A and B are shown apart, each in its own frame.
Chain A
Amino acid sequence: MNRNWKEYQKEIADDRYYYARSCIRQNFFPGSEKAFLDIMRNDLGRDCFDDPLHTSCTGIGYHADIVPLDTIMAVVARQFALMGEAGYENFISSCITSFGIYTEILATWEEFPETEERARENLYKATGRTLVKPKNLSHTSDVVFHHREAIAARARHRLVNVLTGEPLRVVEHIGCHYAKIFPKSGVGGSEFPYVLAGMIESWGGECVDYPERRHCCGFGFRNYLVQANRGYSVANTQKKMESMAPYKPDFIVANCPGCAMFLDKWQYTIAEMEGTTYGENGHGIPVLTYEEMAGLVLGYDPWALGMQMHQVDVEPLLDKMGIEYDPAAKYLGMNGKYIGQPASAIVNCGSQDTIYNIKQ
């Protein structure tokens, strides 16, 4: 099966990144954002400026019809202005939805110059800053993809099942706002996005191409926020799970805050509501963010990456990859303080049937 993703090449900056954090990912996966900065700075020696002045992109509000277009344009203009003032030209956003927002607004400015003037004027009136446009806009997964060979060179573990030597079967899920709105803005276009597949293949894993591969995970703001729509959100994840199950994937990797979160958490909801579980051991398929995957490959401590917060236990995956970890120290926080343990359930992050006694 050959993929013609090569036609969708995308120019990704090599260094000096202005890093825009994600409001959701700081809460769902703080470990991932920290891991990204650690990998960039320590492992790859790249300059990532984590500017305390920058804010979130108000994407949730914009998509939930609370934040009008002009407001979000002003906020984005301020972000770019901060980047300019900090002396950076390469803007990277940690969240897919933000990346979609930034791409959309840059395209709107491109298409309708008068909106750019309005944004420039609003920015100046509100903050006195002058609008600057980034030379290169990329998503953090693009950056990791860009440096995937460098990471592969430093890899301490491969995405390979150490017992059988087989490459791990990985399902990659790309956030819709990454390339479905502007196909040219994604590596590999919208049909066959290659940004995560590239990482997986260079780190020894094997991509799984299942029919519902491009189907949305159901995260959509208005879907999971409003209880009346929540059933629709779970139905999407269930559809994807049903479609990928026959392929027996070892884990799922996603590059968007919502997908990684909900593909993981909805497995618990589906198990509780309908009793159906996926994955070989019937306890679900672990879901990782690409930073966690990169971290594991580079030998970071899983608990430091925050993987104990995942709904689906990651221990089986770690064993497959042959990663050393202290299962008992699962719930000891950074400074060794016991952070509590969730109740047991079919799909949960408290490994109730493991033999280790969890250190309190």
Chain B
Amino acid sequence: MARRVIIVGGGVAGIQTALTLSQRGIPTLLLERESELGGKLTGWHKLFPSFTPAHEVLDELRQRLNGSGVEVRTQCEVCHVERSGVTLASGERLAADAVVVTTGFTLFDARVKEEYGYGIYDNVYTTADIERMLNEGRVAMRDGSAPRRIAFLHCVGSRDEKVCQHHCSKVCCITGVKQAMELKEMFPEADVFNFYMDIRMFGPGYEEMYRDAQQRLNIHFVRGRISEASPTLDGRVQIKAEDTLTGRPLKMSVDMLILIIGMRSNASNAVFAADAGLQCQPSGFLAPRDLFLHNTESNVGGIFYAGAVTAPKNIGESLSEAVVAADRVTEYLKRA
């Protein structure tokens, strides 16, 4: 029987790996926990830095997948992974000659940062909420009115030892700037403030977008980490921070406080690691064999990684890593 590859996780990385493998004539089974493919991409509205509609990328990938002959099974969650195959939540065991783990990441649960009052005060949101609202076409405060003052807070759940998330999720900064621009364009009268420790514009066109946000849209970037949020009488949110560039504490009440949440490793990483003897990084992301020549292989032969399961990545990086993973799998199957 021709050799079969199972891909765990139907996000952008999973789909691209499946596509590349099927182009090379290797039968592939793509398993996805949710009811539809696309992973986190399904939740996004527009993609930085070009404001490309997320559904464009998604539809393109899905459309390519339909014509590719890859076997796809949705709504089945993988709970155990071994070199020889995977076990589903339903107990069913699926054999495979190689497994590619593309389970991606989990959004940091902002409720853990209790002092920001997410899930407690009315007008505290996360970037995921905003993307959802943008997708629904209407962004507004809890009482439906338009915000006149919006504050974004960078690094929520990243670079924060208090919540054991030491790593930098790198894509949330640019997401924050993107949403700040989208909201400012949606509410031109509003003042938008971004509170940051460091602005990390790592990708091409990101710095220019940051500068455009500052100059054209007059978005205020305040270097200082909001320490505390509390509700005011009229349902707004009072925030406190230090404007470290002037060394003065700063206090203001805003209509919407938007927490720019980072990427957390999946809980399933630890489980998979235990099953198959995979190595994890301190941040909880799975550790590739090395970061250079074998950055898509795990320390166990036959198990491969692609996408944000090993580290925070943007969509472009995940897609290219998927192709590399597929290439490694083909090579592995040829040798084995």
Is the CB–CB distance between B230 and A212 below 8 Å? yes
Is the CB–CB distance between A4 and B230 below 8 Å? no
- Measured CA separation A213–B238 after assembly (Å): 12
- Measured CA separation A214–B227 after assembly (Å): 12
Residue A247 lies at the interface, judged by CB distance under 8 Å to chain B: yes
Residue A2 lies at the interface, judged by CB distance under 8 Å to chain B: yes
- Measured CA separation A127–B111 after assembly (Å): 50
Residues of B within 8 A of A211 (CB): 230-232, 238, 253
Q: Assess A191 versus B230: contact at CB under 8 Å? Given A2-B120, A3-B120, A211-B238.
A: no
A246: contacting residue among B119, B121, B228, B233, CB under 8 A = B233
Residue B59 lies at the interface, judged by CB distance under 8 Å to chain A: no
Residue B185 lies at the interface, judged by CB distance under 8 Å to chain A: no
Residue B115 lies at the interface, judged by CB distance under 8 Å to chain A: yes
Tell me the interface secondary structure of chain B in the complex. Answer: mixed
Residues of B within 8 A of A189 (CB): 114
Within 8 A of B (CB), among A207-261: 209-214, 246-247
Residue A1 lies at the interface, judged by CB distance under 8 Å to chain B: yes
Is the CB–CB distance between B232 and A191 below 8 Å? no
Is the CB–CB distance between A209 and B228 below 8 Å? no
Residues of A within 8 A of B121 (CB): 1
A4: contacting residue among B120, B232, B233, B238, CB under 8 A = B120
- Measured CA separation A192–B253 after assembly (Å): 20
Q: Assess A4 versus B114: contact at CB under 8 Å? Given A211-B238, A247-B233.
A: yes
- Measured CA separation A202–B121 after assembly (Å): 23
Is the CB–CB distance between A1 and B120 below 8 Å? yes
Residues of B within 8 A of A209 (CB): 230-231
- Measured CA separation A88–B26 after assembly (Å): 75
Q: Assess A191 versus B115: contact at CB under 8 Å? Given A2-B120, A3-B120.
A: yes
Which residue in chain A gives the minimum CB-CB distance to B237? A211
Q: Assess A214 versus B228: contact at CB under 8 Å? Given A4-B114, A191-B114, A191-B115.
A: yes
Which residue in chain B gives the minimum CB-CB distance to A212? B230
Which residue in chain A gives the minimum CB-CB distance to B236? A211
Residues of A within 8 A of B115 (CB): 191
Q: How large is the interface on B (under 10, 10 to 19, 20 to 34, 35 or more residues)?
A: 10 to 19
User: How many whole Å from B230's CB to the nearest CB in chain A?
Assistant: 4
Which residue in chain B gives the minimum CB-CB distance to A208? B233
Is the CB–CB distance between A213 and B230 below 8 Å? yes
Within 8 A of A (CB), among B77-119: 111, 114-115, 119
Residues of B within 8 A of A246 (CB): 233
Residues of B within 8 A of A3 (CB): 120
User: How many whole Å from B254's CB to the nearest CB in chain A?
Assistant: 12
- Measured CA separation A127–B71 after assembly (Å): 80
Residues of B within 8 A of A191 (CB): 114-115
Is the CB–CB distance between A1 and B233 below 8 Å? no
- Measured CA separation A54–B228 after assembly (Å): 40
Residues of A within 8 A of B122 (CB): 1
User: How many whole Å from B160's CB to the nearest CB in chain A?
Assistant: 16
- Measured CA separation A191–B253 after assembly (Å): 19
Within 8 A of A (CB), among B229-284: 230-233, 238, 253
- Measured CA separation A1–B120 after assembly (Å): 6
Instruction: Choose among B119, B120, B233, B238 the residue with the greatest number of A CB atoms under 10 Å from its CB.
Output: B233
User: How many whole Å from A7's CB to the nearest CB in chain B?
Assistant: 9
- Measured CA separation A187–B1 after assembly (Å): 63
- Measured CA separation A192–B122 after assembly (Å): 16
Which residue in chain B gives the minimum CB-CB distance to A2? B120
- Measured CA separation A247–B234 after assembly (Å): 10
User: How many whole Å from A14's CB to the nearest CB in chain B?
Assistant: 30
Which residue in chain B gives the minimum CB-CB distance to A247? B233
- Measured CA separation A246–B233 after assembly (Å): 7
User: How many whole Å from B246's CB to the nearest CB in chain A?
Assistant: 20
Which residue in chain B gives the minimum CB-CB distance to A1? B120
Residues of B within 8 A of A192 (CB): 114
Residues of B within 8 A of A1 (CB): 120-122, 231
- Measured CA separation A77–B232 after assembly (Å): 45
- Measured CA separation A213–B253 after assembly (Å): 15
- Measured CA separation A358–B233 after assembly (Å): 40
Which residue in chain B gives the minimum CB-CB distance to A244? B233
Residues of B within 8 A of A4 (CB): 111, 114, 119-120
Residues of A within 8 A of B238 (CB): 211
Residues of B within 8 A of A2 (CB): 119-120
- Measured CA separation A151–B17 after assembly (Å): 66
Residues of B within 8 A of A213 (CB): 230
Residues of A within 8 A of B232 (CB): 211
Which residue in chain A gives the minimum CB-CB distance to B117? A191
Q: List 15 A-B contacts (CB under 8 A).
A: A1-B121, A1-B231, A2-B119, A2-B120, A4-B111, A4-B119, A191-B115, A192-B114, A210-B230, A210-B233, A211-B238, A212-B230, A214-B228, A214-B230, A246-B233
Query: Which residues of chain B have a CB within 8 Å of any CB of chain A?
Result: 111, 114-115, 119-122, 228, 230-233, 238, 253
Give me the 8 closest cross-chain CB pairs, A-B, nearest first.
A211-B230, A211-B238, A191-B114, A246-B233, A211-B232, A191-B115, A209-B231, A247-B233
List 17 additional contacts besides A4-B120, A191-B114, A191-B115; criterion CB under 8 Å. A1-B120, A1-B122, A2-B120, A4-B111, A189-B114, A192-B114, A209-B230, A209-B231, A210-B230, A211-B230, A211-B238, A211-B253, A212-B230, A213-B230, A214-B230, A246-B233, A247-B233
